[in-house]
Each structure stands twice: as C-alpha cells, then as structure tokens.
Amino acid sequence: MFCETNGIEHRRTTPNHTWTNGQVERMNRTIKDATDERFRYDSHDQLRTHLGNFRAAYKFAFRPKTLGGLAPYKYICKIWTSEPDRFILNPIRKCRD
C-alpha cells in the first residue's frame, strides 16, 4: 500500500536466491545492531523514536564507497542536479553543505 500510494514500483527478488537480498539483509543487521542489540526499550514508542534518530544520522553521516564517499542524502542531491527527471519531488531544497 505504501509503495502504491507513493508511486513506487514494488519488485520482489527471485525465489530461492537469498544472495540477491544481501544488501537488504546487511542493512537490517546494521539497524538491529544499532537499536535492540545495544539498547533496552520500555515501550514501542521509545524504539520508534530511536529508529527515527538512527535513520536521520545514517542518511546524513554514513558515507559508503558505493556512493562515491557521499552520504546517501548528498548522493541523491548530486543525482538530482544531473538527472532531475528521475525524481517526483525536488530534494535540493533540503540539502545542506
């Protein structure tokens, strides 16, 4: 429902080929290690708040080699300047140097 509402094409991986899910599984492990493996939460709202904080920090700070050493959000802003037709919304107004 979320994908449809936001105009995102939902694709599934090939059945019985778990290696195609490697990147997703690695990100899931990163999130788990940063949250419930390190902290104990008294409520679901505490976990939700911490996940939001983690996502914001990851989006603006993590700089993977696959994105040319740019944080994911900076990479999106870079792509927007060269290929704006790939986007529905303009991310540049939120970019900071």
DSSP 63-89: --GGGTT--HHHHHHHHHHH-GGG-SS
CA 6 and chain centroid, separation: 16
Per-residue pLDDT band for 97 (boundaries 50, 70, 90) equals very low
Q: Provide CB contacts within 8 A for 78, sequence distance 6+.
A: 70
Q: How far apart are CA 46 and CA 42, in angstroms?
A: 7
Classify residue 11: in a domain, yes or no. no
Classify residue 51: in a domain, yes or no. yes
Classify residue 4: in a domain, yes or no. no
Verify that 53 and 69 share a domain, yes or no.
no
Domain of residue 46: give its range: 21-61
Chain position carrying tokens 């540049």: 92
What is the pTM (predicted TM-score) of this model?
0.49
pLDDT at 17 over 70: no
Determine the pLDDT at residue 7: 85
